[in-house]
Structure 1
């Protein structure tokens, strides 16, 4: 919340966020940039798109089934011919299932948007909420299907179909309805579980830093490309070792006082040792402290040359 307040106070773009260090970062990544960053993230988005298509298809089928069942329950002549029919309860059950798929659709879209953000906390929160709903979907859909496709409801629906002449063969029509109700539910449940599994693995294995490539990371922090940093969490490539740089001609550590001599005993030059020692302290390159150190080193070199 504080990051959002800082963003609006600073008048920044709504697609960028201010981090704790005061640097602005893009709040959203395009699906193509996310695919370039991680194959798992791109695969997760593809599965999420398939889940969205399945949820929309299930909602359309359930809406059609609810409309047909509800129209039968409102037919007074049919109700008189079939007293005690559970058509109204069956229509309510189908409507509740359609609302459940609508909630799943909203959560899936929210999860896809969270995957395109640079915030790991937001992604983990969306994944956990989606996982709870996906787990509860399996027993809930099993209970709804066991009621909607029970033998009692089968008898009432076939009788209503024959009385209204809805189909020439009502038994075959019921078998097709039963298959059309079970197959999408099983497929949607499997896709929901797969989408949750992929998203959970991606959120737990991705880095807590920004998802941008190293070049953009360097541009954000204004880091020169020719400077190589030690194994430090702020470096653009922490796994890249430092290349040894020979000291300048005529330079020796013995010419420095004890206070000026760097504590490092490596073969790097004084500049690299200064960078390695002070980078973790947050000292920016080419800052006043580094310039002061360079002037002090030049004075030492001039003194050694006069000798």
Structure 2
């Protein structure tokens, strides 16, 4: 059992253990189960959850019966992970993509518990993008190339669940296309190995993204390039797509998804 004393050290230990339990659960979890895992009284877990909620480290589900890791916990975790791996792994990839494509490139993590994506690293092109591209802010998985490059490779049941929520476009407020049409678009992304969207998250932007897979070849992130609409030309698409697919495949291998497996997931487009 965790230190039952009421001093500050005991409280800190319990709070840390609770944050760890929320992060490791990977799903919404009830107070009783948390209390059992931590070997703490339910009343203590309630009190600690209230403290975490106040700081954005935890949040309640809509039915108020379960809890999950909060946005701030995800943001802080992403900051730490990004600082550790950015220079040695992600930044060189983004530098290569930026040099070859000449536009803003960035790397987005998939946040499964939130069903969102979040940009955690970027490299600007020679000409600045005329729109904001913030880091560490959760974004839609349903709209934009950054999200759809990942969405297309999620399990069918999860895709269906996300489509049923009917999330509107963050840029225009437009509704999702009919399920059958969206499923066809996702199938096309799987076949060619990348996503391309026009003004779905930012009205004046064209986005291209390729998925990055980890061990087990599940999608964990996306490698992206965004081009201002006024600068985009059709002939740019195949060049940018080829660079993104190649660099995403290299990252996937580093993360434990072999070249052959990754190529199969991307419809054989890893070359």
TM-score computed with the length of structure 1 as normaliser: 0.24
More helix per residue: 1
Q: Which has the higher strand share?
A: 2
Computing the radius of gyration from Cα coordinates, the structure with the larger value is 1
Q: Relative contact order, CA 8 A, sep 6+: which one is greater?
A: 1
TM-score, normalised relative to structure 2: 0.26
